Amino acid sequence: SEIYRAGISGTRPRVPVDAGGLEDAARRRLSAEAFAYLAGGAGAERTVRANARAFERWQVWPRPLRDVSARDLSVEFLGRRRPTPLILAPLGVMELAHDDADLAVARAAASLGVPYTLSNQASFPMETVADAAPHGSRLFQLYWSADDDLNASLLRRAEASGCEAIVVTLDTHLLGWRTRDLDLAYLPFTRGLGIAQYTSDPVFQQLVRARMRRGPDASAPPSPPVRLTPKTVAAGVKIARKGAAITGADGLRDNLRSPLPRAAVETFLDVFSTPALTWDDLAKAREWTSLPILLKGIVHPDDASRAVDSGVDGVWVSNHGGRQIDQSVPTLDTLPGVVERVAGRVPVVFDSGVRQGADAFIALALGATVVALGRPYAYGLGIAGEEGVREVVRNVLAELDITLGLSGHTAVTEVGRDALRPA
Ligand code: FNR
C-alpha cells in the first residue's frame, strides 16, 4: 500500500516491481560484461530457466474468512528470531553492479533486519563490510581454498568481524561452463575484481610474496599491451595502489609493469578452490571455527542426509542459480526430498530461482526454513545502489506477506504443504 500511496503523490518506485522489468532495467543500466556475469548461467542456461519454471508446478490455495489482520513473518534461524524468512545469498564481484558493492548491500540488509551472506568473492574486505553496517546480521561464505592456512585465516577473520555462521559453498570446485562470459572472454577475477577478501588476508599476502620471490611464471601468458588513455591511466593508478597495499614496494613495481595486480591474481587462481575436496576434509572446518557451519550447494537428498549426519548446522539447497551445471536438477524439485531427510534436525536454506514473494511462499510451504534471494538484489544494486537493494527486498517481502494473508495464514511458520496443490 506504500507504493500505491506514493503513486498518489506522484512518486514512482526506483526499481521496477515486476521481476522481468527489473532484469531488463539492469541490462540497460550495466555494461555488457557486467550484465553477462550477473545474469548468465552454465551452457544453454537450461538450469536457469528450469529453476524458475519449477515454481509453476505448484499452486497456492486461496483461503478467505480466517482473520488475517495480524500477520507474523518471523522465523527462528541459527539461534535467533529473525523478522522475516528472507536472507541474502552470497553474490561475488558486486563492484560490477555498483561501486559501493557489498557495503551498499550490507547497509540495505541491516536496515531491514535481513541476514546477509557475505561472499568470499566480495569487493570489500569483510572487516570493512562489518564497519559499514555494524548492527547487521552477517554470515560468511567460504570457497574452500587449496591452501588450508588461508581457509583457517578467512574463518578466523569472519569470527573476529562478527559473522554469525560460516557457509561453505560446495558446488564450485570447478568453475561452470559459462557461455556468456566465455563469448566475451570475461572473467572478473583475472582483472583483479572480487578478490578483496584475499588481498586483505595476511596468509594470502604471504603466498603472493612467495610467488613474487619465485619470479614471473614462464608459462603465464604475457600481459596484453595497454593503450594509454586517461581511463587506463586512472585504472592503472588504482590497481598500483592496490598492489602496494598488498605487497608494499614490490607490489607497486609489479603492478606498474602490468595492467593487473598480477601476482595477486595468479596466486588467487592457484588457491581459489580445490576439486580434490571430499567429505572427510570438511571436518577440518570444525577446528578452524566455533561458528555454526552450513553447507551450500546441496541438491541430492543423499547428500543432505550425509551433511546432517556429519554434524553440520545447516543445509543450503542451491544449484548456484544454474551457473554450474547446464540441465541440472532444479532446486525446488528436490527441496521436499531434502526436507524429509533433514527431518527438522537442522535448518534448510533454499535458493535458485526465487524472483518474487509468491516463490518464497512456495519454498517455505515445501519446508524451507529461510529463503535466500540472489540475482534480483544485484539488479536492484545496479539500478539504484543501496536504495535499489532495499526496494527489491521490500517488494519480495510485501508480496510474501500478502500471499500469506490471502492463503489464510497469520504466521509463516504455519505454512505447510496443505497450502499448495500440484499444478
Ligand atoms: C552467485 N552465487 C554465489 N554463491 C556463492 O556461494 N558465492 C559467490 O561468491 C557467489 N557469487 C555469485 C555471483 C553472481 C553474480 C550470481 C548470480 C550468483 C550463487 C548465489 O549465492 C545463489 O546460489 C544464486 O544466485 C541463486 O540463484 P538465483 O535465485 O539468483 O537465480
Are residues 282 and 134 located together in one domain of the fold?
Answer: yes
Are residues 258 and 323 located together in one domain of the fold?
Answer: no
Pairing mode of beta strands 75-77, 80-82: antiparallel
Distance 189 CA to ligand 1 centre (A): 15
- Is position 221 within any domain? no
Environment class of 183 (CB within 10 Å of its CB; exposed 0-12, middle 13-18, buried 19+): exposed
Are residues 237 and 312 located together in one domain of the fold?
Answer: no
Q: What is the ipTM of this complex?
A: 1.00
Report pLDDT for 350.
99
Are residues 288 and 408 located together in one domain of the fold?
Answer: yes
395 ligand 1 Cβ < 6 A: no
Pairing mode of beta strands 420-422, 166-169: unpaired
Report pLDDT for 192.
87
Report pLDDT for 213.
83
> SS3 of 350, please?
strand
Region 137-146: what's the mean pLDDT?
98
Element (H, E) at 180: helix 179-183
Our count of domains for the chain comes to 2
Please identify, by atom number, the ligand 1 atom nearest to the C-alpha of residue 119: 9
Mutate to test the pocket of ligand 1, among 27, 375, 381 (most ligand atoms within 8 A of CB): 375
119 ligand 1 Cβ < 6 A: yes
Are residues 86 and 60 located together in one domain of the fold?
Answer: yes
- Is position 5 within any domain? no
Alpha carbon nearest to ligand 1 atom 14, residue: 91
Alpha carbon nearest to ligand 1 atom 10, residue: 91
Element (H, E) at 26: helix 19-29
53: cell is 519454471
- Is position 339 within any domain? yes
Are residues 253 and 170 located together in one domain of the fold?
Answer: no
Confidence of residue 127 (pLDDT cuts 50, 70, 90): very high
Are residues 305 and 244 located together in one domain of the fold?
Answer: no
Tell me: pLDDT of 317 over 50: yes
Q: Is-catalytic flag, 320?
A: yes
Confidence of residue 207 (pLDDT cuts 50, 70, 90): very high
Are residues 278 and 362 located together in one domain of the fold?
Answer: yes
176 ligand 1 Cβ < 6 A: no
pLDDT tens digits for range 253-293: 555 554 346 889 999 999 999 999 999 999 999 999 999 99
Are residues 158 and 265 located together in one domain of the fold?
Answer: no
Mutate to test the pocket of ligand 1, among 121, 323, 373 (most ligand atoms within 8 A of CB): 323
Provide CB contacts within 8 A for 202, sequence distance 6+. 153
CATH number, domain containing residue 369: 3.20.20.70
Tell me: pLDDT of 364 over 80: yes
Region 394-415: what's the mean pLDDT?
98
121 ligand 1 Cβ < 6 A: yes
Q: Output the pTM of the full model.
A: 0.93
- Is position 4 within any domain? no
Are residues 17 and 136 located together in one domain of the fold?
Answer: yes
Identify the CA nearest to 30 among candidates 354, 388, 391. Answer: 388
Report pLDDT for 8.
82
Confidence of residue 134 (pLDDT cuts 50, 70, 90): very high
169, 141 contact by CB (below 8 A): yes
Are residues 59 and 143 located together in one domain of the fold?
Answer: yes
Task: Count Cα neighbours of 283 within 13 Å in the Cβ-side half-sphere.
Answer: 5
Q: Match 561472499 to its residue by C-alpha cell.
A: 119
353 ligand 1 Cβ < 6 A: yes
Are residues 157 and 292 located together in one domain of the fold?
Answer: yes
**39: domain range?**
12-174+274-422
Q: What average pLDDT does the chain have?
A: 92
